[in-house]
Amino acid sequence: MDNATRSERSRNAALEAATRIIARDGPGRLTLDAIARESGLSKGGVMHQFRTKEAVLKALLERQMDHFEEFSTRYMAKVSETSANPNLATQLATVREAATSPNSAALALVAAMVENPGLMVLPRDREMKRVEAIKAEASDPELALLRWAAARGLLLSSLFGMSPLSKDEHQRLFARLLDDDQWRPLEKPDEPLAGKSRATRGSTAKSGAAPAARAATPRKRA
Amino acid sequence: MDNATRSERSRNAALEAATRIIARDGPGRLTLDAIARESGLSKGGVMHQFRTKEAVLKALLERQMDHFEEFSTRYMAKVSETSANPNLATQLATVREAATSPNSAALALVAAMVENPGLMVLPRDREMKRVEAIKAEASDPELALLRWAAARGLLLSSLFGMSPLSKDEHQRLFARLLDDDQWRPLEKPDEPLAGKSRATRGSTAKSGAAPAARAATPRKRA
DNA sequence: CTTTACAAACCAACCAGTCGGTTTTATAAA
DNA sequence: TTTATAAAACCGACTGGTTGGTTTGTAAAG
C-alpha cells in the first residue's frame, strides 16, 4: 500500500476511534492508550501520526469544523439566490444539522476545552467571520444575531445532554427560527414591505405558528 | 468547636477551593490532591467529607444551582407583579447574570460533564420545570422558548470561550431579549390591533409556577 | 470510652510521552 | 530484475509522574 495512504488510513482510524470513545465513554476517558486499543493501532503507531495528545484534539476539532463547513458551503449554494439573508439561513441550517445528526462527536469540543482551553480559538475565529457576514446582510442585525444565538442555545444544550426540550419541540423551534416571515425586522416603520421583500409569503409558512401578522407597528426600544 | 460546624467549615473550604482551581487552572486540573492543597485540608480530610470525587462534583453542581436559584427567586419576587411573563423575564435575567458575573465557576458544569456526563440530568431536571413555567405563562410559547434558547446560546458560547461577540454586543443582545416590546407574538393576523390581543392566558396557565400578575399587561399598544 | 474529624503515608491503576527495535515502502545503483 | 540502502510506518515494553482512593494513626467532640 502506498505510504501516504497508509498514513491517511491510520490517522483516520485513530480519529474515528477517538470520536467513538468520546461518544461512548465521555471526554474524560479519551486517552492515547484507549485510542490505540480502539483503533487497532499500537500506541507507537498513534504517536507516530500525532506527536502529542493535543495534536489529536486539534485534528479532531478541525475535522469536525471542516465537515460542517462543507455542509455550509453546499447549503449556501442552494439558498444564496432565493434568500434575503443566505448567511443566516445557512448557519441556522448548519446548526440544526449539528444538533440533529447523531454527531455527538462534537463533544470533541469539550475534550479540547478540558485539555487545552486555548484550542477554543479555532472554532471561535471561524464563527466570527460567519457572524460578520450575518450582520452585514441583515436589515436588523441584532435580531439576526439573536436567531443565531437561539440556534446555538438549542445546539449546545442538547449537545451537553441538558436540553429540557423534547425532540419534537426542538425541531419545531428550529423550523420557526428558519422561517424568515416570522422574524420581520422592527425597523423602518414607515416603509412597509415596499420593494422586494421576499416574494413568497404564505408559501413559506410551513409548520410554525400563524403566518406573520405584522400588522403591528414596530415599537422603538425604550 | 462544634462537630457539625467543623464539618460544615471543611466542606465549604473544599468546595471553594475547587471553584478556585477550576476558575484559575481549568476543569482538567481539578483533582482531589489539588483540592486538598488549595483548601489547606489534608487529602484524608477531603475524603472524609466527600467519599468520592463524583460526590465533590455533585456538591459543586448543586451549590452552583442553588446560587442561581436564589438569584432567580429574588428576581422573580421583584418582577412577578409588573411583568406579563415573569418566569421568562427571570430566566433571562438569571442567564445574563450567569454569563456576566466573574462566576466562571459555572465551569463546574464542564468538570462534571468530563468526569461523569450522567450528572447533567441534575441541571436538566431543574431546567425542565422552568421551561414549563415559561411555556405556561406565554401567549406565544414558541417565541418565549426561543428567547430563552437565545439567552442560553449566549451564555454557553461565552462560557466555553467561543463567543464571537464583543462584550458590548453581548450586553445589547441581552437587553433586547429582555425587552418584551420587542417580541410581540405574531398571532391573530386577521384581527389587527383590535382590543386586547393577548391577555387570555389564564386558561393556559396550568400547574406552572407563579400565578403571577395577570392583570398587568401594562403595554399601551395603540 | 466511643464516635467523629482530620492527618499523612501509602498503593494500585493510569496516563502522556519515550525508546529501541521490526516491518513495510521508496529510491536507485548494479 | 535484483540488490543495497535509506526512510517512513509501526510495534510494545518501559518511565516518571499523577490520580482516585485506602489505611493507619491521632486528637478533639460527645
Residues A169, B146 contacting (CB under 8 angstroms) = no
Percent of chain B with pLDDT strictly greater than 70: 81
User: Is residue A197 left, alpha or beta, with left meaning phi > 0 and alpha meaning psi from -120 to 50?
Assistant: left
Note the CA–C1' distance, B94 to C4, in angstroms.
Answer: 40
Query: Is A113's CB within 8 Å of B113's CB?
Result: no
pLDDT score, position B184: 80
Residue A4 has pLDDT above 80, yes or no: yes
Contact at 8 Å (CB) between A8 and A63?
Answer: no
Q: Which strand D bases fall within 7 angstroms of a protein CB?
A: 8-14, 18-25, 28-30
Give the range among A36-40, A108-112, B46-50, B173-177 with minimum mean pLDDT: A108-112
Q: What is the distance in angstroms measured between the alpha-carbon CA of B34 and the sugar C1' of D22?
A: 18
The answer to whether B123 CB sits below 7 Å from nucleic acid chain C is no
Q: What is the predicted pLDDT for the residue at A105?
A: 56
CA of A180 to C1' of C20 (A): 64
Cα A139 to Cα A27: distance, rounded to the nearest angstrom: 41
Measured distance CA(B40)–CA(B25) in Å, rounded? 18
Cβ of A195 near strand C (under 7 Å)? The reply is no
Q: How distant is C1' of D29 from CA of B57, in Å?
A: 29
Q: Looking at residue B110, what is its pLDDT?
A: 80
- The overall average pLDDT reported for chain A is 84
Extended beta strands in A108-148, E state: none
pLDDT by residue (tens digit) across B79-97?
A: 999 999 999 999 999 999 9
A44 touches strand C (CB under 7 A): yes
Does residue A143 register a pLDDT over 60? yes
Cell of B30: 481539578
**Residues of chain A contacting residue B149, judged by C-beta atoms under 8 Å apart:** 149-151, 153-154, 157, 173
Query: Do residues B211 and B81 lie in contact, with contact meaning Cβ atoms separated by under 8 Å?
Result: no
Q: Indicate the pLDDT class of residue A219, thresholds 50, 70 and 90.
A: very low
| Residues A80-129 pLDDT 10s | 999 999 999 999 999 999 998 766 556 777 788 888 888 889 999 999 99
Query: Cβ of residue A221 near strand C, that is under 7 Å?
Result: no
Contacts of A79 (CB under 8 A, 6+ apart): A86, A89, A90
Determine the protein residue whose CA lies at the shortest distance from the C1' of C3. Answer: B3
Q: Which residue has the cell 469544523?
A: A65
Min mean pLDDT across A150-154, B36-40, B184-188 is at: B184-188
- R_g over Cα of chain B: 21
Closest residue in chain A to residue B26, using alpha carbons only: A114
Q: Choose from A156, A170, A184, A206 for mutation: most chain B CBs within 10 A.
A: A156
By mean pLDDT, which of B97-101, B141-145, B208-212 is the weakest?
Answer: B208-212
For A32-78, the pLDDT digits (tens) are 999 999 999 999 999 999 999 999 999 999 999 999 999 999 999 99
Mark yes or no for CB contact A219/B114 under 8 Å. no
Across A189-206, average pLDDT: 43
Q: Do A211 and B189 touch (CB under 8 A)?
A: yes
- Is it the case that residue B217 has pLDDT exceeding 90? no
Q: What number is the average pLDDT over the span B20-30?
A: 89
- A32 closest-nt by C1' vs CA: C16
Neighboring chain B residues of A172 at a CB cutoff of 8 Å: 142
Binary contact (A124, B161; C-beta < 8 A): yes
pLDDT confidence of residue A194: 43
- B6 CB contact with strand C at below 7 Å: yes
**Closest nucleotide C1' to the C-alpha of A3:** C25
Nearest CB neighbour to B128, from listed A146, A164, A221: A164
A164 pLDDT above the threshold of 70: yes
User: B104: which chain A residues are within 8 Å (Cβ-Cβ)?
Assistant: none
pLDDT of residue A103: 62
Say if the Cβ atoms of A152 and B153 lie within 8 Å.
Answer: yes
Q: In terms of Cα–Cα distance, which of A74, A81, A95, A106 is closest to A153? A: A95
B9 touches strand C (CB under 7 A): yes
A200 vs B8: which has the higher pLDDT = B8
Using 50, 70 and 90 to split pLDDT, how confident is the model at A160? confident
State whether B165 and A211 contact (CB < 8 Å): no
Average pLDDT over residues B153-170: 92
Whole-number distance in Å between A5 CA and C26 C1': 14
Q: What is the pLDDT of residue A151?
A: 98
pLDDT in tens, A6-15: 999 999 999 9
Mention every residue, 6+ apart, whose C-beta is less than 8 A from residue B199: B214, B217
What does the pLDDT average to over B28-49?
96
Tell me the mean pLDDT in the region B22-51: 94
Mean per-residue pLDDT, A162-166: 94
